[in-house]
Structure formats: structure tokens, C-alpha cells
């Protein structure tokens, strides 16, 4: 391989770490720039990029979060806490030589196409040239709020779930959590133990998954159903029936009936949200209508006096270092082929901008292997490279994206197994000589 090839990785979270491992395995040189003092990304509670608080645990179980050839320690529980996850990722980085290529307390401030690669300007003021760039700066960078904003003025404290770091922020206060994703549900449950009252505002009905069924983590139980039923529809109907019998049908707690199939949205993995609603610890509310001082009025005609509002309303893409005109944006996200490669640029990749109902493990290795194969094919100008460049312009692979709920968050949601199949297919294409 051409020794002059060098790649710039932006971000040292799980995806940056995973890519670094694959590049090391493939003998491809790179620098990894991390703006924090250590690796970890959202799991780094000591950094601004951290999105953790004391009670936070994974929503994906150990068995499919761990990298297949690098298992988590035996003493880790089924759902590790955030400190365990951070320790695991840093151990992975050490054992596969990623720390040797990491440059800390340094961010990328500008990317400019230059000749056969990119000029990369750093926060230190230094400018370096790289053949390729991999953007792994994370999907949870810029808070997204309701747009348009709710009417009126709220006189209390307001912050986003990304800024929830400690129960001290809500201790003894009346809390309203807006948003029904996993973060919104987890924070609402956490607030039960620290706040003076908890309200949870959601726009629609949702499906709630327990974390365990039959003594197993629910994703594993679902996976082991295999081909027990004749069709996907029969399988999902059985799963939904089991969830209802286990007490996880929101309609039984007075919540709205979901307007989408059980698997039509990113799963909410939470065994406690309905429990606390059933015990009156969390008061469910419809969407916010308007504010009047400390009083919040909801579209169901009710109101509540609260001290703090926490918006768990998602995130916007944020690539401040690159001219937006270089990327083909659609509906607020770049148009990336299989959510990785821009169709109009052949020497930059984006990682961590695909969502699926699965853990980290398999996808982490596969995405890195894809880039490793691409760089080798690019360097060799192989038959596989030519085929892929043509496919990138012409193909519209089925990733299952049209099946999911029509919302901003689901613009990058995929059927995990379809994504894996498609990514492997194009990786193998690139490996053709």
C-alpha cells in the first residue's frame, strides 16, 4: 500500500476508536484528533462531550454491545453502567493501539479540499494535509428543541437532556421532561427519586420494551425466537402479546395508542417508566400547548406548575469545520450513501450517523472494515473500487428506512440486519481485485 496515504479521524468516541483499530490492523496510518483530554465520547463523563449522569446504564445488553472478538469482562452485568462502558472502550483502544495515534485537547476547526485530499486546520493553528478524513464527531453535539417554539414564556429553569449531569440539578424541584425517547424516559425515571414531582410530555403513543423477558435481555429473547413463526407479522404480534402480558402496554396505563408498529420506531428500552406512571410517580401529559410563567398548559387541556423543564427532544447534525455546500443536505442531514459515504465526495467518510435497534459490537467493526477496504481499493484503483464508485451514484439499497416513523430522529434509522447485509456487500465489492 502507498505509504503516503494517511487518514485524519475527527473524534475519539466509540466509532473513532473502532475505526482506529481497523486501520491499525490494515497497516493504514492516521492521526486521531480528540478535543477532550481522553477517549470515550459520550461516555466520557469528565468531558463536555459526555452525556452521562450517575444512574445511567446501557439500553443495549452486554451480549450485542461488546465487540465479538473482544468480550466485556465476565463480571459486567447484563446492562453495564456508563463507567463500565467507558472503561471497556478505553481498554479496547489501548489493546488495539489507538492511544498511540490519538492527539488530545485538539479539535479540527476547518476542512478544505486540497489537491488529492484535505487540508485540516487544528485548534492549535497548525494545518496538515491528509489523503482521507473520517468524521466521527458524534451525533449528540447540538441540542434540538421544538420548532416552532412553544407559545408564551416559561419563568423557570430550562435545559436540554444533553446537559443533565447530576440529580442535584433537579433535587426538590417540580420537573417536566419533554420527549419520549430513551433519554427522556430514563431522565423522567431518575427524576422520580430526586424531584418533588415529575411530569412527562409526549406527542404520541409509543411502544415500551422491558429490558428482560423470560430471564433474558429482551433483544436476546427476541433474537432467539428465530423462525418460530411463519412470518414477521406473526412474530411481532407474539412479541407484542408477551409485552402486554408482562405489563408493558402503555394503553393499559392511560397512554395513547401508538400510531406505528412495534418495530416501527427506535425501541424505548425501559422497565420502569410504566411502573412509575402506574404508581403516580410520573404524571403523563400530552404535548405542550403554551407557557404562562411557571404554569405549563398541555394540549389535553390540563396544566401543571413546574420549576424545571428538561427537553429530551433530540439533536441536530453539527459539522462546523466543513462548508455545508460541500455536502448534499436533505431534510437536515447530509445525503450519505449507506449513511457513511457522500455521493459527491470520494475521500471523506462519516461514522456514527446511523441508528438501529441493536448494540454497538457488529456494526463497529464492519464500518471500520468498510473504510479499510475502501482505502486499499482506492490506492490500487482496483476493479472493486470502480464498481463501488458507480454503485454509489446509481444504487438505492434497501436499508428499511421507509418502514419507520416519520420523524427527524428516524431519518437515519435503519433495519440493522439489512444495514449489515448491505454494508458487507459493498465491503466485499471493494475487496474485488
267, part of any domain: yes
Decide if pLDDT at 2 tops 50: no
Domain boundary among 280, 311, 342: 311
Decide if pLDDT at 273 tops 80: yes
Same-domain status, 244 and 365: no
Decide if pLDDT at 372 tops 90: yes
Q: What is the pLDDT of residues 57-89, one digit of tens each?
A: 999 999 999 999 999 999 999 999 999 999 999
Decide if pLDDT at 205 tops 90: yes
324, part of any domain: yes
Task: State the pLDDT at residue 157.
Answer: 98
Decide if pLDDT at 3 tops 70: no
Decide if pLDDT at 331 tops 80: no
Domain boundary among 288, 311, 334: 311
Task: State the pLDDT at residue 43.
Answer: 97
Q: Which domain holds residue 177?
A: 145-311
Same-domain status, 202 and 332: no
Task: State the pLDDT at residue 131.
Answer: 97
Same-domain status, 89 and 175: no
Burial (CB < 10 A; 0-12, 13-18, 19+), residue 202, is buried
- Average pLDDT of the segment spanning 206-220: 97
Tell me what the pLDDT averaged over the chain comes to. 95
Same-domain status, 167 and 277: yes
Q: What is the pLDDT of residues 281-311, one digit of tens each?
A: 999 999 999 999 999 999 999 999 999 999 9
47, part of any domain: yes
Task: State the pLDDT at residue 329.
Answer: 87
How distant, in Å, are the alpha carbons of 66, 221, 378 from that of 402?
29, 26, 32
Task: State the pLDDT at residue 352.
Answer: 86
Decide if pLDDT at 1 tops 70: no
pLDDT band at residue 334, thresholds of 50, 70 and 90? confident
Cβ within 8 Å of residue 320, ≥6 positions away: none
Task: State the pLDDT at residue 354.
Answer: 87
pLDDT band at residue 350, thresholds of 50, 70 and 90? very high
Same-domain status, 253 and 177: yes
1, part of any domain: no
Decide if pLDDT at 406 tops 90: no
240, part of any domain: yes
Task: State the pLDDT at residue 105.
Answer: 98
How are strands ordered across the β-sheet holding 288-293?
Answer: 151-154, 288-293, 295-298, 303-305
The pTM of the full predicted model, rounded to 2 decimals, is 0.95
Domain boundary among 265, 289, 311: 311
- Average pLDDT of the segment spanning 406-417: 87
334, part of any domain: yes
How many domains does one find in the chain? 2
- Between 333 and 383, residue with greater pLDDT: 383
| CATH number of the domain enclosing 209 | 3.50.50.60
Same-domain status, 303 and 332: no
Alpha helices in 127-272 (DSSP H): 182-192, 218-223, 232-245
DSSP for 329-379, written as a single string: EETTEE-EETTTEETT-SSEEE-S--EESS-SHHHHHHHHHHHHHHHHHHH
Same-domain status, 114 and 28: yes
Amino acid at each position: 500500500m502507498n505509504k503516503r496515504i494517511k487518514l485524519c479521524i475527527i473524534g475519539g468516541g466509540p466509532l473513532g476508536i473502532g475505526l482506529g483499530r481497523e486501520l491499525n490492523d490494515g497497516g493504514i496510518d492516521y492521526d486521531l484528533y480528540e478535543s477532550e483530554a481522553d477517549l470515550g465520547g459520550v461516555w466520557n463523563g469528565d468531558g463536555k462531550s459526555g452525556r452521562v449522569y450517575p444512574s445511567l446504564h446501557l439500553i443495549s445488553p452486554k451480549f450485542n454491545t461488546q465487540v465479538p472478538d473482544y468480550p466485556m469482562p465476565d463480571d459486567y452485568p447484563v446492562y453495564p453502567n456508563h463507567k463500565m462502558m467507558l472503561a471497556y472502550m478505553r481498554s479496547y483502544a489501548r489493546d488495539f493501539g489507538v492511544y498511540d495515534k490519538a492527539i488530545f485537547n485538539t479539535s479540527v476547526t476547518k476542512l478544505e479540499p486540497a489537491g488529492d485530499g484535505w487540508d485540516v486546520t487544528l485548534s492549535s493553528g497548525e494545518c496538515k494535509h491528509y489523503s482521507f478524513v473520517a468524521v466521527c464527531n458524534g451525533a449528540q453535539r447540538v441540542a434540538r428543541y421544538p420548532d416552532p417554539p412553544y407559545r408564551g414564556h416559561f419563568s423557570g429553569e430550562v435545559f436540554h437532556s444533553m446537559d443533565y449531569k447530576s440529580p442535584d440539578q433537579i433535587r426538590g424541584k417540580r420537573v417536566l421532561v419533554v420527549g419520549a425517547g430513551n433519554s427522556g424516559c430514563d431522565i423522567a425515571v431518575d427524576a422520580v427519586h430526586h424531584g418533588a414531582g415529575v411530569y412527562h410530555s409526549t406527542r404520541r403513543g409509543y411502544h415500551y420494551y422491558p429490558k428482560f423477558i423470560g430471564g433474558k435481555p429482551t433483544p436476546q429473547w427476541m433474537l432467539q425466537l428465530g423462525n418460530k413463526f411463519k412470518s414477521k407479522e406473526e412474530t411481532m404480534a407474539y412479541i407484542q402479546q408477551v409485552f402486554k402480558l408482562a405489563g408493558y402496554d402503555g394503553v393499559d396505563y392511560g397512554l395513547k395508542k401508538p400510531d406505528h408498529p412495534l418495530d416501527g420506531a427506535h425501541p424505548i428500552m425501559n422497565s420502569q417508566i410504566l411502573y412509575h406512571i402506574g404508581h403516580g410517580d410520573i404524571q403523563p401529559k400530552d404535548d405542550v400547548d403554551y407557557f404562562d410563567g411557571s404554569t405549563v398548559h398541555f394540549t389535553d387541556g390540563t396544566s401543571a406548575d413546574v420549576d424545571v423543564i428538561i427537553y429530551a427532544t433530540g439533536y441536530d447534525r453539527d459539522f462546523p469545520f466543513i462548508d455545508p455546500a460541500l455536502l448534499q443536505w436533505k431534510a437536515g442531514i447530509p445525503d450519505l450513501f449507506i449513511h457513511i459515504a457522500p455521493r459527491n465526495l470520494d475521500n471523506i467518510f462519516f461514522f456514527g450517523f446511523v441508528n438501529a435497534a441493536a448494540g454497538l459490537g457488529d456494526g463497529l467493526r464492519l464500518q471500520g472494515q468498510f473504510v479499510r477496504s475502501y482505502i486499499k481499493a482506492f490506492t490500487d484503483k482496483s476493479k472493486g473500487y470502480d464498481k463501488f464508485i458507480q454503485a454509489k451514484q446509481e444504487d438505492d439499497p434497501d436499508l428499511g428506512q421507509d418502514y419507520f416513523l416519520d420523524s427527524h430522529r428516524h431519518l437515519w434509522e435503519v433495519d440493522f440486519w439489512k444495514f449489515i447485509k448491505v454494508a458487507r456487500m459493498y465491503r466485499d465489492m471493494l475487496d474485488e481485485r
